[in-house]
Amino acid sequence: MRKLIIQNKENNLIGEIVPDYGGMLTKLLYRGREIITIDESKLYTTNVIAGGCPVLFPFPSRTADDRYTIDGKEYAMPFHGLVKNAAFGIQEATENSVTLYITNNETSMQEHFPFDFRLEVTYRMENGHVVFNAVVRNRSDRPMPHYFGWHHYFKVSDKSRLRYKIDMEEYVNYLDGTKRRYDSEIDFTKPGDYVFSKKHSNETKIINQADGYQVSIQTDDAFEALVVCTLFDGLVTAEPWLGTPNAINEGRYVKWVAPHTSESYTVTLELSEI
């Protein structure tokens, strides 16, 4: 299994990227602490629950009945999109940065997503920050929809000593379908799969007292949702998504790339000790 290492020596940041299994960042270490982690034994079966930071493109979560319609034709869309288990090519690799890429294929265009795309994912460490950038290129002759997301898994030894600061107005817990205004703390020691929306700012903070670190997650304006999943032992997620589940069928939060153009999206993690 190929592994690429990037690092920022001055700030003691080390990242591991696995191109052949979803093109994702699998581990992040900060001053000796494992912040993002992976169970490599699960990579061969289902990458999206192995840990790390899966790439969810073109749509995260599920579409209704795993189907959606474009220009009158119905297509199937797998859970969390098309690339989460796919092998990416290596476009460029340096000491502190890696850029990977993937394109659509003929079978996928017929059955799942009828667009000729090129997705480029860059992981970069600079000034003590970890930058996640995605460039979505539409090589087709018609506008291309998408609302991809990142799926960061953070290692947490004691969820009772974990706090989130999420500057969003409401959430849906997809375990029971309840929708609530977000105006009080949520007990993240209990199982939940929360989709937050109606944001007021582009920053979310994770304050992990048990493991002595804080993460500030900063997104650009295009990101409309944040997902927090607490279903896994020793892990929590904080997942910036461009849109909410089933957005393509609901007609909201969908981003469009004009023909033969591209769009770029960035998430930055700023880490500190507490």
Residue 179: inside a domain:
no
* 8 A C-beta contact, residue 231 and residue 147: no
Residue 89: inside a domain:
yes
Residue 171: inside a domain:
no
Domains of the chain: total: 1
Note the pLDDT tens digit of each residue in 176-235. Answer: 988 999 988 889 899 999 999 999 999 999 999 999 999 999 999 999 999 999 999 999
pTM, entire model? 0.96
Helix (H, G, I), strand (E, B) or coil at 88: coil
The Cα–Cα gap between 58 and 113 comes to: 8
CATH of residue 69: 2.70.98.10
Which of 202, 201, 195 shows the shortest CA–CA distance to 244?
195
**What range defines the domain where residue 111 resides?**
4-158+221-268
77 pLDDT band (50/70/90 cuts)? Answer: very high
Angle at 27 between CA 22 and CA 30, to 5 degrees: 150
Note the pLDDT tens digit of each residue in 35-73. Answer: 999 999 888 777 788 899 999 999 999 999 999 999 999
CA dist 233 → 40, 51, 152, 189 (Å): 16, 11, 15, 10
Element (H, E) at 110: helix 106-111
Residue 194: inside a domain:
no
* 8 A C-beta contact, residue 35 and residue 29: yes
Task: Please give the pLDDT value at position 219.
Answer: 98
Residue 142: inside a domain:
yes
157 pLDDT band (50/70/90 cuts)? Answer: very high
The Cα–Cα gap between 272 and 216 comes to: 9
- Beta carbons within 8 Å of 9's beta carbon, 6+ residues apart: none
Ranking 134-148, 182-196, 202-216, 251-265 by mean pLDDT, the lowest is 182-196
Q: Residue 200: is it exposed, middle or buried by C-beta count within 10 angstroms (0-12/13-18/19+)?
A: exposed
Residue 215: inside a domain:
no
Q: Quick one: average pLDDT of 79-84?
A: 95
Task: Please give the pLDDT value at position 128.
Answer: 84
Residue 68: inside a domain:
yes
